Structure 1
Amino acid sequence: MTRFRFTTAGESHGPALAAIVEGLPAGVPVSAEEIDRELRRRQGGYGRGGRMRIESDRAEILSGVRHGETLGSPVTLLVRNRDWANWTAAMSAAPVENEGDDEAMRRVFLPRPGHADLVGSLKYDRTDARDILERASARETAARVAAGALAKRLLAEAGITVGSHVVSIGGIVAGRPDEMPEDLNAASDPSPVRCLDAEAEGRMIDAIDAAKRAGDTLGGVVEVVARGVPAGLGSHVSWDRKVDGRLAGALMSVQAIKGVEIGLGFEAAMRPGSRVHDAIRLDDALERGGGYGRAGNNAGGLEGGITTGQPVIVRAAMKPISTLMQPLETVDLRTGERAEAVRERSDVCAVPAAGVVAEAMVAMVLADALLEKVGGDSLAEVRRNLDGYLERIRERGVFAGA
């Protein structure tokens, strides 16, 4: 069975990050420039820290692509860390001469509340939390975005688009337009906070500035919308085949994400069923839904773990970043004494970038579900299989007189 899967490797201040993507059929158009555009989008957003001024992420394609097309073999992507030049001793894979110098080795003994520093140190039996935080860092998401760019390209070839926008930052909620823009990223990317509401944008920027002055950080909520998703991806038959579960798991795996909603999400728990469920209507113009439409999309494009043909709408809640310039209390891992948590260079707010990362994760889940449904070793075969499936769901049922 053809399936899309990926893995990443690398540390925040190591030589590079890497992603290996498996399952892409042969013949998918791929370029480093297209991946680089996604990487640049991830680096943007008001409230980012000094690291974004150092890094200028670019992808190197090491395998799986020839003359601009995938080969059907694993694709390896490399994103080099420019800051590595300042960390060659502290992050050296080999022993170094001044290993006993804690400051030179950038050792961390004061774990940050809310970060993996302490629990990772306990789990892996490390005293220096640097061994944990380097991999736990959200810098890793650069590799996810690079891999997600490949998934987006495959989905685009199947008529599926994925975009995102910021719903809220620091409790400031953006107004929702009566009709979402067809090209969501074209509408949201020009905003410094990737927000569709100009008035809320200004208040979000002011809140980020205030948090920076206070040595604090802010979180928020992003929304991802996938259009063109055909009905029938995923399955109700087993827990791990449900697309909503796969989406929730993928987004919850992103650093600092603490909550996921699909469609109405938690609001659905507050309403009676008559104001939650989407009435079913016939509409033979909705070919990707088999000619069945909905009165609304409170379900967020998913029912019973299966896509409905409506846009897939997912929101992810990001907590404030755990590195504070006015640090919280912690415990020194060497002595057990009370101390202030370490200050690492960090962002004040990374919510706009989180939307780009969330897009990548949603795209990879949907690419996997698409290939699970239609299969195919080449892009042409995937298209033929998808066209055949869509034709079948158009012909069946009421349209076939059954």
Structure 2
Amino acid sequence: MLRYLTAGESHGPQLTAIIEGMPSGIPLEAETINRELARRQMGYGRGGRMQIERDTVEILSGVRWGRTLASPLTLVVKNRDWENWSLKMSPSSEHRDDSLAVTRPRPGHADLSGALKYDHDDVRNILERSSARETAVRVAVGAAAKALLQPFGIRVGGIVSEVGGVSAPRPDLPPAELWERAAASEMFCCDAAAEQEMKRAIDAAKACGDTLGGVVEVQVIGVPPGLGSYVQWDRKLDARLAMALMSIQAIKGVEVGMGFGTAHIPGSLVHDELFRDAGRLEQGAATAYYRTTNNAGGIEGGMSNGEPIVLRAAMKPIPTLYKPLRSVDMRTHEAFEAAVERSDTCAVPAALVVAEAVVAIEIANAFLEKFGGDSLGEIEHNYAGYLERIRMA
């Protein structure tokens, strides 16, 4: 299985990820990762930090001549803003300056809970690590996971479906075509009129010192039936994907398929009926079974069912406001306005890229659990054997 750790602070020298369990022989170039990092920095409503950072990855171990080695993969994303923070974030005690302490926690952030938990009197020690800046290196990990899935025809993409209460109609198109439309939009949505309305809403929020959230939708195509399991709670694919999405900063809700909509209509309108057509096998389908609807979002009983996996995640408005909310100074206990950090007005398009990354990581992990081997060739052999068996079902 894949496992990874990230390290680094928002204004530290770099963000680092170490990935263990990547098989050998997977094609992986820095440019593949850099394309995903560039997507994360796009989107209307981003703040000043995106004018400073131009994220690129350094692959420090685990790859030779464009192929993974099966040894731990080390990925580094440098923080260009570090040069402005080298003393403020210095690891050396000689640079300590208590006048820089942040003592007014921001509502909606990890600031106060983290300070109480870890016994810090300077909220800077919390916000540097809890910052969504950490997602830059998680996107790098997700790009490596996408590279692992690509030889097996599994693709991960998505769209923005809502920002600040403005919904973008979702055309009835295959996922790959939706992704192509979204790529041409600053908001990563599929409707030009909705995109303009979203931008107006962001401009209005910015003028008021406020922020906006929204909803992103991630789709995974080419997934065979049988990833995940029903036999234990922690092996259920939908549970693992929900946890991955909820781990993203500012995500407050997750849906699979029809999601909360299933609570409002009878079962006869929810469950996806089953059909069988052996002719599908000649067209490259994994099995002869199929469904004409996908309300389950590609997951039944904690397992992929062969249909596209469809997930939605709700992102709250970023809690760093230029019109700060009321707070309490932790040092004096007096009422004050919360501290203000440089931030975005809306980061929903960026959240989509991060959501794709964490979903790709979990799908890759489940794929390796089912078909795992130490090399690309061994996994291809295992996968081909499974596909041959289920074709006969």
- Is residue 171–residue 178 contact of structure 2 (8 Å, CA) maintained in 1? no
Residue matched to 1:271: 265
SS at match of 2:89: coil
What is the aligned counterpart of 2:149 among 145, 151, 155?
155
Residue matched to 1:56: 54
What is the aligned counterpart of 2:113 among 115, 119, 131?
119
- Is residue 89–residue 96 contact of structure 1 (8 Å, CA) maintained in 2? no
SS at match of 2:327: strand
SS at match of 1:73: coil
Check if 1:322 corresponds to 2:319: yes
Aligned-partner residue type, residue 315 of structure 1: R
Residue matched to 1:77: 75
- Is residue 175–residue 221 contact of structure 2 (8 Å, CA) maintained in 1? no
What is the aligned counterpart of 2:89 among 88, 91, 102?
91
SS at match of 1:354: helix
Q: CA deviation at 1:308?
A: 0.3
Residue matched to 1:399: none
Residue matched to 1:128: 122
What is the aligned counterpart of 1:292 among 279, 289, 294?
289
Q: Distance in 1 between matches of 2:322 and 2:71?
A: 45
Residue matched to 1:171: 165
Aligned-partner residue type, residue 182 of structure 1: A
Q: CA deviation at 1:333?
A: 0.7
- Is residue 276–residue 298 contact of structure 1 (8 Å, CA) maintained in 2? yes
Q: Distance in 2 between matches of 1:62 and 1:268?
A: 47
Residue matched to 1:31: 29
Q: Distance in 2 between matches of 1:185 and 1:32?
A: 22
Residue matched to 1:372: 369
Q: CA deviation at 1:391?
A: 0.8
Aligned-partner residue type, residue 157 of structure 1: P
SS at match of 1:79: strand
- Is residue 5–residue 364 contact of structure 1 (8 Å, CA) maintained in 2? no
The CA RMSD over aligned residues, in Å, is: 1.0
SS at match of 1:96: helix
Check if 1:361 corresponds to 2:358: yes
Give the 3 Å change call, closer, same or farther, for CA 94–183 of structure 1 in structure 2: farther
What is the aligned counterpart of 2:225 among 204, 223, 231?
231
Aligned-partner residue type, residue 351 of structure 1: V
Residue matched to 1:7: 5
Check if 1:258 corresponds to 2:252: yes
- Is residue 228–residue 288 contact of structure 1 (8 Å, CA) maintained in 2? no
Q: Distance in 2 between matches of 1:62 and 1:210?
A: 44
What is the aligned counterpart of 2:300 among 303, 308, 321?
303
- Is residue 289–residue 308 contact of structure 1 (8 Å, CA) maintained in 2? no
Q: Distance in 1 between matches of 2:239 and 2:97?
A: 47
- Is residue 44–residue 346 contact of structure 2 (8 Å, CA) maintained in 1? yes
Residue matched to 2:235: 241
Aligned-partner residue type, residue 259 of structure 1: G
SS at match of 1:206: helix
What is the aligned counterpart of 2:346 among 339, 344, 349?
349
Check if 1:192 corresponds to 2:189: no
Check if 1:211 corresponds to 2:205: yes
Provide structure 2 residue ranges, at least 5 long, that are not aligned to the other structure.
none
C-alpha distance after superposition, 1:21-69 (max 9, x if no partner): 1111100001001100000000000000000000000000010001110
Check if 1:386 corresponds to 2:386: no
Aligned-partner residue type, residue 345 of structure 1: R
Q: Distance in 2 between matches of 1:96 and 1:149?
A: 39
SS at match of 2:93: coil
C-alpha distance after superposition, 1:213-265 (max 9, x if no partner): 00000000000000000000000000010000000000000000000000000
Aligned-partner residue type, residue 332 of structure 1: D
SS at match of 1:49: coil
- Is residue 300–residue 312 contact of structure 1 (8 Å, CA) maintained in 2? yes
- The normalised TM-score by structure 1 is 0.95
Q: Distance in 1 between matches of 2:285 and 2:387?
A: 6
Q: Distance in 2 between matches of 1:375 and 1:72?
A: 12
- The normalised TM-score by structure 2 is 0.98
Provide structure 1 residue ranges, at least 5 long, that are not aligned to the other structure.
397-402
Q: CA deviation at 1:384?
A: 1.1
C-alpha distance after superposition, 1:84-107 (max 9, x if no partner): 00000110011134x23423xxx2
Number of corresponding residues:
390
- Is residue 14–residue 84 contact of structure 1 (8 Å, CA) maintained in 2? yes
Residue matched to 1:400: none
What is the aligned counterpart of 1:41 among 39, 42, 46?
39
- Is residue 256–residue 318 contact of structure 1 (8 Å, CA) maintained in 2? yes
- Is residue 280–residue 293 contact of structure 1 (8 Å, CA) maintained in 2? yes
Q: CA deviation at 1:71?
A: 0.4
Aligned-partner residue type, residue 310 of structure 1: E
Q: CA deviation at 1:158?
A: 1.1
Give the 3 Å change call, closer, same or farther, for CA 30–355 of structure 1 in structure 2: same
